[in-house]
Amino acid sequence: MSIHQKCFLPLQNLVNLDIRRNIPNQPTLDLYHYPDQAFAVLQKLEFLALDMAPNPIFGKGFQGLKNLKSLTFEFCFIKYLRWYTFENFSSNLDELKLTRCHSNFLEVEHNALVPFPKITKIHFEESCMHLKQALNILSPYEGKTIEIMNFRGLNCPIFNNNEYPFSLKVTTAMMRYLKTICVETLDLSDNGIVDFDENSLLLFDRTECLKHLYFKGNRFAFAYGRHMEELKTFFNKSVALKTFDYSYIPVRYKLYAIDFRQYYGKDYHVSNNVIYLPRSLEKLVLGNVLCEDISRIFFIRRGSNLTYLDVSFSYTNNAVVFEGNASYKTETLVLDGHFHLTLYTIELVNFINSTPSEIISQNGIKVLDLSSNLLPTVDYKTRVWADLMNQKHGLYFLLDDNAFEYICDNLDFIKWIQETKVNLDSRSYKCTLVNGTVITVLDAYENMHDLFSHCRNSIWLMVSSILLGTSCILTMIVLLYNRRWNIAIFFYRIFRKIVEKKYGKKYTYDVFVSYGGDCIPWIKKYFIPKLENEWKLKICVKDRDFYGGESFYDAEAESIENSRHVIFLLTPIFKVSPDCLFEIDRVKHEISMQNIENVIVISKDITLKDIPEGLTHIWNYVLFIQWPEDCNDHDLTWQKLRKWISGDFLY
């Protein structure tokens, strides 16, 4: 670059001067003296952009640029940054840009920035000076305020060596100056950071100053309990943090929960992995993180100012959780590329089969990116939500590179793509038909009648199936209703057996029979054979089962107490029999003690008005049978009696 000493004389009122890209791509001169006297006349100059030679000399003529605020070197071949390199520039400089100096490894002296005590913006992006050197030249700014510190991409792999390795572990000594500075924007992206010492990378004396922090493109994970605790502490103190970028992080070694247990000891719990993000955070970028390790939960609390969230193309166990029962300000949500490899089928499986309800519950989203998610469709609720968001404030909905299927169930989705007013990234997404043919959504929409005519047959088949199923169900309901009492008795018998087996009283007799003397022949001929021989019940008949020598009434009382059921056979003599009247009184007592299950009255040759008065007192507990005179009705009567007293008669 050759500049005549008087070339700027007519331009002394210049405020901004940009003369970059005037140096050869490979400068032949190592030491280059800039024409300082030519620049000396530009005393009003505030912005200057130059090329940077390998070993530059800026003469005293640059001292005349006292109003210079911003100095930019972008097309850069510098090799040495000495303490005297910038000594002739104005001490009032506010911004220094020394970017993309990646042709040579830049050796930097620790006091190279001493000439700029008032600087607030430092840009060293993609200059191969190594992060260790960049952090070391911050000594003049201890305790001061710097708005922007852009140290992105300083560790260049082509200049890797033992002193300045590309794979860097940040130490406390390296951070000794930076930790004292009140910095608002700090970019440490793409510096090969693989780990950091305790109280180093995340320790700042004035954390409340930090607004934007970028770790993008490094290779460190919060792998141990100490790392997690430092991250939590950092977020708790970062009351002004608006941007946190932890993206494009490829961690190439496995991490295990045991690393955390070693730190926490017996107190380790999954809750130790919960990271509460500051409410001030507006932009969170966790995309393209490849890290096979334990789960981390980034928790967004109620009242958060988060408007931008990117978790795209990540293969991690990280999760972002929104606190429930709250509305959020999220406007842009990037979720593309959420597929994963299952070890069971060795094929790509969709990570989200439908849009999570947590997304469509938000009312402030303006951009939603679900591309590259292998989605087969967009469900109805999401489509309705998208239309509402578009009506409210406009919505950009990105759906490219999904695995849309054009089957009968997706007809409404195909129509929606062509008819919706939502801003889509395409109206001609690729789709796969049932036979494997790949076409576009537009083709499917225009040929819908031909492609999906078979769907009508499916609809009629579905309707027929529904009607048939409904008929079967109604038939079953009718059958169950008609047999409801039999079913009730069936389950009652089963329940009774279970209860008796576990908790119930042990009965000596199934039935105690109370009768008058005129009924004895009928009992011997019909009653005993039916109940004992055919139904296998054990009945108590006083004329047969009571032994001589014991109190007759005591025997009656004990037998009634130990009988499950009592049957009164009412005949004309029964009413005047003292034994029968005693038995009625005893049954009253057992009913009050809840020892008897059923009291059955069978009336033979007697009318209801002739029933003993004692029975009327317990009539609410009585099951009554009028014994029929017609022999043809006896079977039904026996059947009714068996239902009431026989536990194995179930139908």
Per residue in 194-229, pLDDT tens? 999 999 999 999 999 999 999 999 999 886 678 888
Q: Which of the listed ranges 57-66, 292-301, 410-419, 497-506 does the model predict with the highest average pLDDT?
A: 57-66
Q: Which of these ranges, 250-259, 285-294, 299-308, 503-512, has the smallest mean pLDDT?
A: 250-259
- Tell me the per-residue pLDDT of 504-517, one tens digit each, with 9 for 90 and over: 567 889 999 998 88
CA distance 137 to 474: 86
Confidence of residue 342 (pLDDT cuts 50, 70, 90): very low
Task: Write down the pTM of the prediction.
Answer: 0.62
The pLDDT value given to residue 348:
33
Confidence of residue 423 (pLDDT cuts 50, 70, 90): very high
The pLDDT value given to residue 349:
36
For the residues 532-539, what does the mean pLDDT come to?
90
The pLDDT value given to residue 181:
96
Burial of 516 (0-12, 13-18, 19+ CB in 10 A): buried
Please state the φ and ψ torsions of residue 71, each to the nearest 5 degrees. -125, 125
Would you say 89 and 61 are in contact if contact means Cβ atoms under 8 Å apart? no
Please state the φ and ψ torsions of residue 295, each to the nearest 5 degrees. -80, 145
CA distance 649 to 489: 9
CA distance 116 to 99: 17
The pLDDT value given to residue 499:
62
Task: Please name which of 359, 428, 446 lies closest in space to residue 395, comparing C-alpha atoms.
Answer: 359
Task: Please name which of 108, 144, 127 lies closest in space to residue 191, comparing C-alpha atoms.
Answer: 127
262-285 b/e with 16+ CB inside 10 Å = b? ebeeeebeeebbbbebbeebbbbb
Question: Is 608's pLDDT higher than 80?
Answer: no
Chain-wide mean pLDDT for the chain? 83
The pLDDT value given to residue 271:
66
Would you say 619 and 587 are in contact if contact means Cβ atoms under 8 Å apart? no
316-336 b/e with 16+ CB inside 10 Å = b? bebebebeeeeebebbbbbbb
Task: Please name which of 55, 57, 47 lies closest in space to residue 19, comparing C-alpha atoms.
Answer: 47
Question: Is 258's pLDDT higher than 60?
Answer: no
The pLDDT value given to residue 469:
86
Structure tokens at 185: 């924007």
Q: Which of the listed ranges 116-125, 247-256, 468-477 does the model predict with the highest average pLDDT?
A: 116-125
- How far, rounded to the nearest angstrom, does the alpha carbon of residue 145 sit from its chain's CA centroid? 41
Task: Tell me if residue 542 falls in helix, strand or coil.
Answer: helix
Question: Is 270's pLDDT higher than 70?
Answer: no
Question: Is 267's pLDDT higher than 80?
Answer: no
Question: Is 649's pLDDT higher than 50?
Answer: no
Structure tokens at 397: 């909905």
CA distance 13 to 411: 68
Enter the DSSP assignment of 71. Answer: E
187-226 b/e with 16+ CB inside 10 Å = b? bbbbbbbbbbeeebbbbbeebebbbbbbbbbbbbbbbbbb
Confidence of residue 350 (pLDDT cuts 50, 70, 90): very low
More confident of the two residues 625 and 548: 625
| pLDDT > 70 fraction of the chain, expressed in percent and rounded | 86
Distances in whole angstroms, Cα of residue 522 to Cα of each of 518, 527, 629: 8, 7, 14
Residue type present at position 625: I
- How far, rounded to the nearest angstrom, does the alpha carbon of residue 193 sit from its chain's CA centroid? 31
Q: Which of these ranges, 157-171, 199-213, 428-442, has the smallest mean pLDDT?
A: 428-442
- Count of positions (residues) in the chain: 651
Question: Is 295's pLDDT higher than 80?
Answer: no
Question: Is 265's pLDDT higher than 80?
Answer: no
The pLDDT value given to residue 651:
39
The pLDDT value given to residue 492:
66
More confident of the two residues 499 and 178: 178
For the residues 478-492, what does the mean pLDDT come to?
77
More confident of the two residues 315 and 509: 509
CA distance 356 to 605: 79
Task: Please name which of 390, 381, 409, 386 lies closest in space to residue 399, comparing C-alpha atoms.
Answer: 386
CA distance 376 to 402: 7
Enter the DSSP assignment of 351. Answer: S
Question: Is 527's pLDDT higher than 50?
Answer: yes
Task: Tell me if residue 642 falls in helix, strand or coil.
Answer: helix
For the residues 449-475, what does the mean pLDDT come to?
73
More confident of the two residues 175 and 375: 175
For the residues 304-333, what does the mean pLDDT come to?
85
For the residues 342-368, what does the mean pLDDT come to?
60
The pLDDT value given to residue 647:
59
CA distance 376 to 348: 13
Q: Which of these ranges, 10-19, 190-199, 251-260, has the smallest mean pLDDT?
A: 251-260
The pLDDT value given to residue 101:
86
Question: Is 448's pLDDT higher than 80?
Answer: no
Task: Please name which of 209, 194, 109 lies closest in space to residue 157, comparing C-alpha atoms.
Answer: 194
Confidence of residue 16 (pLDDT cuts 50, 70, 90): very high
